[in-house]
Amino acid sequence: MKAIVTGSSRGLGAAIVARLLARKIEVLGLARQQPPTLPPATAARYTHATLDLADTGALEDWLAGSAMARFVAGAERALLINNAGTLQPVGPLGGQDAAAIARAIRLNVSAPLALADAFVAATAQVRDRRIVHISSGAARSAYAGWSVYGASKAALDHHARGVHEDAVPGLRICALAPGVVDTDMQAEVRGSDAAHFPMRARFEALKRDGMLTSPAACAAQLVDYLLSADFARTPVADLRALSGH
Ligand SMILES: NC(=O)c1ccc[n+]([C@@H]2O[C@H](COP(=O)([O-])OP(=O)(O)OC[C@H]3O[C@@H](n4cnc5c(N)ncnc54)[C@H](OP(=O)(O)O)[C@@H]3O)[C@@H](O)[C@H]2O)c1
């Protein structure tokens, strides 16, 4: 089995990589930075591609090469975990900035959609292929200050629904909200200007009260679900509602 993970250098993505490697699954990670040093027992199963996924030209060049096809060659099962994302720009209309909006959409929407398309093209011979878009509760509930972020994640949800309808042979897809996970992105949430993000105090309280899920615990549940027979029975799901899967 082989897995491609975006945003593999930190946070939830790095924890997903560690979990997959521990299960003896070969991983190709994509991020701007390398992940921290991996345990020697698993490091040989990890390959890194240094890529800015918000740079559409760089992504197109990478996809035009053969790295993905070479990586998945010979696999009986292949996984794509579209995890890389950005919260920015945070705030109401009038101060979001066109460049920041475009960057968020390139990273949070264009890159996962392009990677999903290339993954399906590269895995035509693979009998079992699975895609996870890491979505968010913000795709399904509206939060002041997060209009761009929420719209980008809602786009992933609806992409998964559409792909599900396509019924591509051997392909399953799910846009999965992971819950509130203790990563750099959560620190960024708590560091938001309260004038731009009125819910900040609620996220500060979640951290203070120990209510955040650790990246390792979230990754363990996510990978178990991803590898299970139940995966993607519905194209949109929330990990917190799947504990009984
Ligand atoms: N944390 C939460 O509570 C939470 C809740 C709901 C959904 N999510 C979603 O879960 C996913 C992971 O979030 P996280 O909390 O782990 O975030 P994080 O701590 O900010 O990590 C983000 C990851 O994405 C990569 N990334 C960012 N910009 C990139 C770029 N331009 N090109 C390539 N890779 C890039 C980063 O790697 P480099 O910096 O090395 O490029 C890093 O590995 C995101 O899609 C997020 O929206 C998180």
Q: What is the CATH number of the domain that holds 135?
A: 3.40.50.720
- Beta-carbon contacts of 29 under 8 Å, excluding residues fewer than 6 positions away, are 4, 5, 6, 8, 9, 13, 17, 35, 46, 47, 48, 49
User: Could you identify the residue written with the tokens 């929330």?
Assistant: 238
Is position 18 within any domain? yes
Is position 176 within any domain? yes
Report CA(10)–ligand 1 centroid distance (Å): 7
User: Which phi-psi region, left, alpha or beta, contains residue 193 (left: φ > 0; alpha: ψ -120 to 50)?
Assistant: beta
Report CA(84)–ligand 1 centroid distance (Å): 4
Q: Containing domain of residue 122, as a range?
A: 2-181+214-239
Is position 74 within any domain? yes
Q: How far apart are CA 143 and CA 48, in angstroms?
A: 35
Q: Looking at ligand 1, which atom is closest to the CA of residue 87?
A: 47
Q: How far apart are CA 123 and CA 235, in angstroms?
A: 20
Neighbour-count burial of 233, counting CB atoms closer than 10 A to its CB (0-12 exposed, 13-18 middle, 19+ buried) = exposed
> Which residues line the pocket of ligand 1, CB cutoff 6 A?
7, 9-13, 31-33, 52-54, 83-86, 107, 134, 136, 178, 180-181, 183-186
Q: Which residues pair with 176 in a beta bridge?
A: 134, 237
Q: Whose CA is nearest to atom 5 of ligand 1?
A: 180
Q: Looking at ligand 1, which atom is closest to the CA of residue 149?
A: 47
Res 244: pLDDT: 53
Res 218: pLDDT: 98
Res 114: pLDDT: 98
Is position 202 within any domain? no
Cis peptide before 89 (omega within 30 of 0): yes
128 CA to centre of own chain: 20
Report the mean per-residue pLDDT for the chain.
97
**Which of 53, 185, 221 for mutating ligand 1's site (highest number of atoms within 8 Å of CB)?**
185
Tens-digit pLDDT profile for residues 157-183: 999 999 999 999 999 999 999 999 999
145 CA to centre of own chain: 21
Tens-digit pLDDT profile for residues 109-150: 999 999 999 999 999 999 999 999 999 999 999 999 999 999
Q: Which residues of 164-193 are buried (b: 16+ CB within 10 A; e: fewer)?
A: beeeeeebbbbbbbbbbbbbebbeebeebe
Is position 149 within any domain? yes
Instruction: Pick the closest to residue 152 from 165, 164, 134, 166 (CA basis).
Output: 134
First to last CA, the chain: 22
- Ranges of residues in the chain whose predicted pLDDT is under 50: 245
Is position 76 within any domain? yes
Q: Whose CA is nearest to atom 23 of ligand 1?
A: 7
Res 40: pLDDT: 87
Q: What is the dihedral of CA 157, 147, 58, 181, to 10 degrees?
A: -70
* Total domains present in the chain: 1
Is position 193 within any domain? no
Res 207: pLDDT: 98
The two beta strands, 46-50 and 2-6, are unpaired
**Which of 17, 56, 83 for mutating ligand 1's site (highest number of atoms within 8 Å of CB)?**
83
Report CA(125)–ligand 1 centroid distance (Å): 30
DSSP state of 137: G
Tell me the pTM: 0.98
Report CA(32)–ligand 1 centroid distance (Å): 11
Q: Looking at ligand 1, which atom is closest to the CA of residue 35?
A: 40
Is position 209 within any domain? no
Res 39: pLDDT: 86
